[in-house]
């Protein structure tokens, strides 16, 4: 315990002494000690056990200039408003097959008139929704067929890149500036096939293929491919400049550096998921030095990549439902504060990437009418309450004209939900 100093008080949060004149006043709702009994008052109980938004507002009121406490309170308010998100727009039967990939373009990226949402399905067709305004009929356009199931659609700047699963793999590059044009790359058959996932950063692309990771250093040059042997199919991949993180079907998480010889790589996280075994289905880099890992058994964890041998997670996001599916939608908001994951039970759930807490939800007993999204009652179209017709295979969070939007693909249908709109926050 800090020593008592005459005229000063100890601030536990800042770990230093301050003059008594700077000591914050008691909150308005504080009950004096002499009136407190063994049982708190009814008003006090209501505040402490109230709805999350009210509790977070009370926390914000009593922050007294503490920046960390204010950020925490604002984060809690945003999390509570996300749980109340309801309504949205439905784009039924966009694809005759099952949509496997989705790429929603950011509202601030370029000309709104040319903005679109790109979709890929299990039959190899690429589609685009040119008009994403929920108040106007959507305009769905068929772009082209890439020959086999669309395994991934990535974006960087004005470039959209789609990859095919089949043998051999093909890469389709759509660049809309200065003029819209398509470029098709055929990968070597012996090197690249069964592509399940991909990551794009600037002009460099990494492909998660059967038994290996293939890196295209420059999509404009198309030469000098790098081949990293993994010994198992790559289902999850993340890229940070020269560093490539891959998650395999056998449960290994490996890191490759494109600047050093191919054999010099390391297996990280101390074989945490290999012992199970437990296939890695998703990898994402967040918060500069953390790795989000998703597995086929429903694990959802964040790990500190500064300590490669440490297998203890920073956060465990409990409640994710999966037992055998390798293709379930997972999306992270642009600020990397929240993650949304689709479960095998046909629901979507959300978690805070700052605290690890799950966003509250109270699923309804009967399935919401997702096919008639506009007519469904508001209480049955809350984001985390809706029971879809099938597991959601692809999701993405993007910035729209009215704020953040969550795009979700289920079967051949697409759904668009505004996150934390002004009416919810109010």
- Per-residue pLDDT tens listing for the chain (426 residues): 566 666 677 777 777 777 776 776 544 433 334 334 444 343 333 333 334 555 555 555 555 556 777 778 788 888 888 877 776 777 887 887 899 999 987 765 555 555 678 999 999 999 988 755 555 556 678 888 988 999 999 998 888 999 999 887 899 998 877 667 888 888 888 788 899 999 999 899 999 999 999 999 998 887 789 999 998 999 999 999 899 999 999 999 999 999 887 666 788 988 888 877 789 999 999 998 999 999 999 999 999 998 887 778 999 999 999 999 999 999 999 999 999 999 999 999 999 999 999 988 765 543 444 554 545 545 556 788 888 889 999 999 988 777 788 999 999 888 888 886 433 333
Give the sheet arrangement for strand 266-267, strand by strand.
234-240, 243-248, 253-257, 266-267
Spatial contact of 116 and 130, defined as CB atoms under 8 Å apart: yes
> Interior CA angle at 109 toward 103 and 115, to 5°?
60
pLDDT given at position 61: 55
pLDDT given at position 11: 78
Cis peptide bond upstream of 277, omega within 30: yes
Contacts of 312 (CB under 8 A, 6+ apart): none
Spatial contact of 140 and 125, defined as CB atoms under 8 Å apart: no
Distance CA 326, CA 242 (A): 26
Q: What is the DSSP string of 225-294?
A: -EEEE-SS-EEEEEEETTEEEEEETTS-EEEEETTS-TT--EE-GGGTTTTTT--EEEEEEETTTEEEEE
Q: pTM to 2 decimals?
A: 0.80
pLDDT given at position 253: 94
> Can you tell me which residue has the tokens 């000591």?
23
pLDDT given at position 79: 84
Where along the chain do its domains lie?
A: 327-426
Q: Six-digit token pair at 378?
A: 């508001």
Q: Six-digit token pair at 65?
A: 């200039």
């Amino acid at each position: 315990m800090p020593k008592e100093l005459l005229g000063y008080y100890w601030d536990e949060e800042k770990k230093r002494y301050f003059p008594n004149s700077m000591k914050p006043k008691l909150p308005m709702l504080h009950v004096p000690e002499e009136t407190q009994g063994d049982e708190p008052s009814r008003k006090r109980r209501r505040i402490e056990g109230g709805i999350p938004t009210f509790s977070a507002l009370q926390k914000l009121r009593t922050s007294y200039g503490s920046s960390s406490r204010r950020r925490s309170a604002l984060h809690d308010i945003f999390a509570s408003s996300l749980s109340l998100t309801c309504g949205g727009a439905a784009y039924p039967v966009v694809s005759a097959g099952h949509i496997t990939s989705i790429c929603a373009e950011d509202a601030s990226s370029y000309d709104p008139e040319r903005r679109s949402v790109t979709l890929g399905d299990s039959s190899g067709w690429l589609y685009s929704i040119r008009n994403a305004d929920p108040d106007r009929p959507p305009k769905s356009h068929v772009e082209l067929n890439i020959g086999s199931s669309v395994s991934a659609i990535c974006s960087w700047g004005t470039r959209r890149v789609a990859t095919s699963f089949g043998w051999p793999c093909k890469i389709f590059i759509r660049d809309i500036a200065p003029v819209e044009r398509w470029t098709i790359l055929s990968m070597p058959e012996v090197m690249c096939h069964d592509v399940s996932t991909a990551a794009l950063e600037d002009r460099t692309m990494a492909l998660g293929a059967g038994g290996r990771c293939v890196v295209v250093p420059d999509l404009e040059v198309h030469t000098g491919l790098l081949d990293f042997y993994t010994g198992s199919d790559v289902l999850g991949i993340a890229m940070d400049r020269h560093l490539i993180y891959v998650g395999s079907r056998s449960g290994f998480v490996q890191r490759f550096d494109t600047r050093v010889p191919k054999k010099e790589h390391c297996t990280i996280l101390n074989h945490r998921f290999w012992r199970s075994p437990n296939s890695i289905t998703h990898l994402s880099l967040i918060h500069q030095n953390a790795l989000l890992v998703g597995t086929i058994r429903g694990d959802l964890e964040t790990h500190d990549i500064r300590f490669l041998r440490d297998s203890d997670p920073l956060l465990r996001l409990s409640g994710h439902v999966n037992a055998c599916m390798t293709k379930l939608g997972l999306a992270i908001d642009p600020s990397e504060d929240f993650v949304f994951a689709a479960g095998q039970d046909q629901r979507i759930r959300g978690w805070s990437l700052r605290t690890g807490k799950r966003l509250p939800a109270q699923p309804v007993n009967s399935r919401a009418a997702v096919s008639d999204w506009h007519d469904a009652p508001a209480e049955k179209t809350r984001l985390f309450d809706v029971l879809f017709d099938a597991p959601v295979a692809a999701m993405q969070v993007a910035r729209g004209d009215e704020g953040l939007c969550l795009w979700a693909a289920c079967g051949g249908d697409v759904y668009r939900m505004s996150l934390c709109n002004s009416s919810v926050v109010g």
